[in-house]
Amino acid sequence: MLEIKNLSFRVEDENGETDILKNLSLTIADHKFVVITGPNGGGKTTLAKAVMGITAPTGGTILWNGTDITHMPVTERARLGVSYGFQQPPRFKGIKVRDLLELASGNEALSHEEGCQYLTRVGLCANDYIDREVDASLSGGELKRIEIATILARKTGLMIFDEPEAGIDLWSFAKLTDTFRRLQENRRSTLLIISHQERIIDLADEIVMISDGSVAQHGPKDEIFPKILANTVTGCTYMREGDVQ
Ligand SMILES: Nc1ncnc2c1ncn2[C@@H]1O[C@H](COP(=O)(O)OP(=O)(O)OP(=O)(O)O)[C@@H](O)[C@H]1O
Ligand SMILES: [Mg+2]
């Protein structure tokens, strides 16, 4: 179980202090497929990075299976079964796709066949990519899919994907949606997927709407999704009706 309690993230710059996460609390039961959505800048990526340990929260606690991981380094969280796919994945010059998949799966003897299967699940033509370097020569969409493949290879207890659809073409997106559907059916891991895509949101058991650093809505898909479609749970406090001529 993932328990996030009163999480806050405050930053300071020349304009003063800003609260990016505001006492955010959220509990996710095991083996749930949860989609986090909400307006740009609401704090979704900040929350995901805090769970992975890339961003240090300024208050609150994060428990994973009862263990307080709030101040643990990324590597230790990874050992406890937490994985995160960046909204914008990093590149690794000198490392091949095959090496990344081997590292991720923890299987030094990962067969060509197995490596290729992970790539196929994200819509990549495996033989074309398995020996490519994870460097600047890969397009944004290729890189994104390779990173998703490495998370699939890790098979951790908690998988967090940050906008897996971003920059991915329609055909690969269909493949990726199938892969997520299978993960949802298998129920071996808890999945937290940050997404704005209707077809991914539609797979969710639960939807969390994050807006302005807090949880605006959290509940079963059937309850929250119609509200999102009817556009009644977002809303900008600055641009009111009548502001636009
Ligand atoms: N280190 C930081 N310093 C200052 N502002 C920050 C910092 N990190 C995040 N922010 C701001 O916090 C807000 C939330 O950012 P975050 O990336 O979490 O949003 P998001 O919900 O993932 O948005 P999107 O849907 O666009 O990906 C944004 O306004 C962002 O500019
Ligand atoms: Mg984001």
Give 105-174 as a DSSP string: HT-TT--HHHHHHHHHHTT--HHHHTTSEESTTS-HHHHHHHHHHHHHHH--SEEEEE-TTTT--HHHHH
42 CA closest ligand 1 atom index: 21
Q: Is pLDDT of 234 > 90?
A: no
When pLDDT is averaged across residues 216-234 and rounded to a whole number, the result is: 84
The residue written with tokens 């993230």 in the block is: 9
Per-residue pLDDT reduced to its tens digit, 67-114: 999 999 999 999 999 999 988 888 888 999 999 999 888 877 888 999
Q: Is pLDDT of 244 > 80?
A: no
Q: From the CA of 40, which ligand is nearest?
A: 1
Compare 168 and 219 and report the one with higher pLDDT. 219
When pLDDT is averaged across residues 158-186 and rounded to a whole number, the result is: 91
Q: Is pLDDT of 213 > 70?
A: yes
The residue written with tokens 């900008």 in the block is: 236
Measured in Å, how far apart are the chain's first and last C-alpha atoms? Answer: 48
pLDDT for position 233 = 52
Q: Is residue 52 lining ligand 1, measured as CB closer than 6 Å?
A: no
Confidence of residue 245 (pLDDT cuts 50, 70, 90): very low
Q: Is residue 40 lining ligand 1, measured as CB closer than 6 Å?
A: yes
CATH class belonging to 2-229: alpha beta
Q: Is residue 220 lining ligand 1, measured as CB closer than 6 Å?
A: no
Q: Residue 189 C-alpha to ligand 1 middle, in angstroms?
A: 27
Per-residue pLDDT reduced to its tens digit, 103-148: 888 877 888 999 999 999 998 988 999 999 999 999 999 999 999 9
Per-residue pLDDT reduced to its tens digit, 37-72: 999 999 999 999 999 999 999 999 999 999 999 999
Domain boundaries, the chain: 2-229
49 CA closest ligand 1 atom index: 18
Name the H helices within the chain.
44-52, 74-79, 97-105, 112-121, 126-129, 140-154, 170-186, 198-201, 221-229
- Which of 145, 139, 62 lies closest to 100, judged by CA? 145
Alpha carbon nearest to ligand 1 atom 3, residue:
11
Phi and psi torsions of 61, nearest 5°: -135, 155
Q: Residue 47 C-alpha to ligand 2 middle, in angstroms?
A: 9
